[in-house]
Structure 1
């Protein structure tokens, strides 16, 4: 993945909350996917905790999903401290040299893509917020163990960037590469699009390969593929292309990352038996299939996992 050096970056929706920035109330516990831990012991428990990565962190008592209204945003995440981590990110040239600035450029690309795709129906996310250790969100306190997540209450994407090396690669056996994080960000942005469409309200808390939670996750994977297909056409505010090149190797890394966070792969990694009836995110095959559906099909309608007979 290579960014256009002449592109101008908009930092207004990307912030860093620093280390341990909870403003009070402690760290909220999360409802974990039932039956995933298997016999993995302490290491398995760590993997189970981060298994909620790349998902929706629900508000109040919803656990892994959300029933918030599509456009609600009752929490002002701008009140979070900002470490000025992204202050030097001004151009695509900066994005080619810095993973932090690349994060800003990917957000800009996602914003432009979905704004063009949805037109008047599009509303931007509040922010992408990076943090270290813990963070206070509209959905409660969270730690790095949660992994990247979207909070529908404040319409914000949160991630501790150490997740990619420490968890996805080392614990889950996922790939290490430049396009892995853009895939994850695109997936989380996909949850925001599902939120705008009202699809988060369709999640009923059921489990299994055809469950509503799995359909939500697969829709986000499809939306990530849809963005990847159009990424090289996205532009900055001045009309400069943001992304010069997206290679076959980039898409391979996205597919490998999608497989690494499949329910069956997680269960295999924890040393437990693969139990499809407990799935909440979809199998490796399902996740790859729906990313390809977006990448190869190229329309929002192709990503209607809730309308599909089977996913």
Structure 2
């Protein structure tokens, strides 16, 4: 169990979407950042090597979700409770957005919550068409984080954890891209190519750690006190989605877009140990 308390959740910023079909749709996503800047989704994929996913149907990694039609999924979202968030992946995403939107206004002046879409199969966004095979992602053009719950099964297959906090880390990582969008870091990193992408992703890992530090503290905390075992599940997942882990013997640091397993773990730990967003400035160090 990670969530404490009982009752309904705020679902005003969460909606259902998607075609309902699994697999790779073949479309690239363009991300808008700054004054008309358009880049592919490469910089913002969560933990999956974009080269393995872009441009071919043979790279599908997800199966058709069982969440049903958009109407049924929306009804499920709207009826989620804190109790259900401890057992149900969809409700866990919703509850995590509630926690994030409780924590971040206290840490960031001018914070405005992103929208969240829980989808199945393929979906159209302001950044272009996307599929489940791309993993969770954030689109700055519509300030929306997108999640297909079937990714959690893929994360486990890759060697990560399917534990609740590991799943919540996925959501927190994508919300961190929204923080980076609000601060201008996202556009800065996009202009730097792969090196900027790595710094963006490691900063998002660190900011996810900052959230975890605060999420179980205070009278309005939605998370119960976190345990070492739960933190270990996040570490396991961060290791599993390092570029060197995914690429294996083909690993080439110059091609990395997310950072090594060791780097991802280190930056999550930095955020979790300090609870300070200022400690997450990956653009101010040559020691990633």
- CA deviation vs aligned residue, 1:88-132 (integer Å, no higher than 9, x gap): 21x42232343322221111000110011113x21111x211111
Partner SS, residue 15 of structure 1? strand
Distance 1:116 1:251 in 2: 23
- CA deviation vs aligned residue, 1:8-42 (integer Å, no higher than 9, x gap): 41011122214349xxxx86225xxxxxxxxxxxx
Q: Does 1:94 align with 2:67?
A: no
- TM-score, structure 2 normalization: 0.81
Q: 2:265 aligns with which of 288, 295, 299?
A: 288
Distance 2:252 2:221 in 1: 45
Partner SS, residue 17 of structure 2? strand
* Contact residue 187 and residue 223 of structure 1 kept, 8 A: yes
1:204-219 aligned at under 5 Å gives the runs 204-207=191-194, 211-219=195-203
* Contact residue 232 and residue 244 of structure 1 kept, 8 A: yes
Q: Does 1:154 align with 2:142?
A: yes
- TM-score, structure 1 normalization: 0.75
Partner SS, residue 224 of structure 2? strand
Structure scoring higher RCO (CA < 8 A, sep ≥ 6) equals 1
Look up the match of 1:43.
Answer: none
- Structure 1 stretches lacking a partner, 5+ long: 31-56, 67-80
Distance 2:86 2:269 in 1: 26
Look up the match of 2:188.
Answer: 202
Look up the match of 1:113.
Answer: 103
Distance 2:235 2:227 in 1: 13
Distance 2:256 2:87 in 1: 39
Distance 1:140 1:18, change over 3 A: closer
Look up the match of 2:31.
Answer: 58
Look up the match of 2:19.
Answer: 19
Q: Does 1:190 align with 2:176?
A: yes
Look up the match of 1:247.
Answer: 227
Distance 2:141 2:28 in 1: 17
Q: Does 1:123 align with 2:107?
A: no
* Contact residue 159 and residue 237 of structure 2 kept, 8 A: no
- Structure 2 stretches lacking a partner, 5+ long: 45-69
Q: 1:276 deviation in Å?
A: 1.0
Query: Could you say which structure has the higher helix fraction?
Result: 2
Distance 1:28 1:138 in 2: 13
Distance 1:212 1:261 in 2: 18
Distance 1:7 1:242 in 2: 11
